[in-house]
Amino acid sequence: MLCCTGQLYYELLEEQTNYPDTAIVRFEQLYPIAKKQVEAIRKKYANASFFWVQEEPENMGAWQFILSQFRSWNFAVISRESSASPSTGNSKIFQKTQQDLVERAFTQK
């Protein structure tokens, strides 16, 4: 189960055609978080591994908030490596790391 926000959802959705057994959940808002709806999804996919996928480096973005809201879950993160900067500043490097991120999302188990 891949969880994310924003436009990353559409990139994951496009790649999902190659991985039809992987579900994707897009969080439309982070605060206040819809815990009841997310719990219902968790019950529906009780045997699934849950991953938070974000474009930002691990030390940025929503990951720390998600971790604080779902402490009892076995959430893992798929993101860029921790960094002092949110962006590489180079569009070619960004595109490559973005594609790597999307591919890693579907190959994590």
- What percentage of the chain carries pLDDT values higher than 90? 74
Structural domain spans, the chain:
2-107
Q: Nearest to residue 68, comparing CAs of 43, 35, 27?
A: 35
- Sign of torsion, CA 47 99 66 37? negative
Q: The dihedral of CA 22, 5, 97, 74: what is its sign?
A: negative
pTM above 0.85, yes or no: yes
DSSP label of 88: -
Give tens-digit pLDDT for 57-89.
999 999 999 999 988 888 899 998 887 766 777
Q: CATH number of the domain at 2-107, please?
A: 3.40.50.11610
Cross-strand partners of 57: 80
What does the CA dihedral 13, 46, 104, 59 come to, rounded to 10 degrees? 100
Q: In what order do the strands lie in the sheet with 76-80?
A: 24-26, 2-4, 51-57, 76-80
pLDDT, greater one: 44 or 94: 44
